Amino acid sequence: MPSNYGGLTKNMAHINDMVLEAMRAKLSHHWQRHRSEPFCVMDLGDVYDEYQRWCGVLPDVKAFYAVKCNPDAQVIKLLARLKSGFDCASQTEMELVLSQGVPPERIIFANPCKKISDLEYAQKSGVRKVTFDNEAELYKIREWLPDAELVLRCRASDASASYRLCDKYGATAALSVKLLQCAKSLGLSVIGVSFHIGSNAKDPSAFDAAIQSCRDVFETGLGMGHDMRLLDIGGGFSAPTFDAMARVIRESINSHFRDIPVEVIAEPGRLFVEGALTVACGIIGRRDAGENTEDEEEERRHMLYLNDGIWGVFSSNLFEPGPLPKVLRLSGVFYPPESEEDRYEDYTLWGPTCDSFDCVAKSVALPESLGIGDWLYFPDMGGESIFDLPHN
């Protein structure tokens, strides 16, 4: 893969064609909706830039984009043209990727617990790389995908990650030995090891610990006669720490796998798409702080009610703080970051449902004069898997 921006003009022309194609397909349908409904804007050029950044910083680690992060068809189409691999977790995701002309060899079915119908689809469609982390899964795979190229998912964790995955998936060191033995006894082929330190990870050293642990599993598998040749370092990449993570990954692979021929892949998700999408929500209601309570000692804030909320585009706010909103006036003027004409007040942002749990943000500073008909827009929303909105 290229590690620089050579051929940028040609690739950007492809991107422009894709944007126009997407708009033609969507405008006639979506713009029949009322103009007050929420919408999002996708910048595919940002996805392209992040992919090229990956190729430049980790040229020896093949990216398999985590489709679950953002299954938008235009994102998949762009990454397919860039020759990315794809991490799929279901039949639906495999169908989406294969529909873009991606060969099954560029897909890893990286769900450690798979439905039988999904295994049947993988068998039929030619997807062979699949993960597992328990004995029951091996028996299921032997029956429904016997020629699978198995990847053993090992336990790994970054305690500072926004979403810890080790409680649900990943085999311990002792269990990994037993699973390799079980696979051998069942006549199944294990080709490698994978791990995932957690979504939106923050501690680069977690990669080094996991890669070092995988080296031990590799040696055990080779000793049993498995054709161990793949190391999948998973996802968890975030823009603020990516350079530090990449440096640790390069050093760790060079240290622990220098003497073993191995193909290294990873499953980046939000790193590729987070900055590419902006969500715009309209203000449909307002209640001033003085109307909220009669208790003078209770902290009071203005309240704004938006036309989307926790049960829609802001579902991830249940687990981690979302991006801070910016302002677009009803007049069409973007609100300046600082202005002498307006002062900032403390607001609570609510979604449109009657559910009191539908709180987008408990406390955020916004201009005091905001009202019905004004808009808030939220950058860096591309990793939220929210694509029921009209978008351009």
* Active site residue ranges: 354
DSSP string, 340-392: TT--EEEEEEE-SSS-TT-EEEEEEEEETT--TT-EEEESS-TTS---SS-B-
Structure tokens at 372: 């019905």
Contact 110, 133 (CB under 8 A): no
Nearest to 229 by CA among 256, 192, 257, 193: 192
Tokens found for residue 53 = 């950044």
Q: Which two tokens stand for residue 96?
A: 């989406």
Residue tagged 């450690």 (tokens): 112
Q: To 10 degrees, the CA torsion angle through 47, 49, 54, 60? A: 110
Cα(99)–Cα(127) distance, integer angstroms: 13
CA distance 79 to 44: 10
Q: Alpha-carbon distance 250 to 198, whole Å?
A: 19
* Rounded CA separation 358/194 (Å): 37
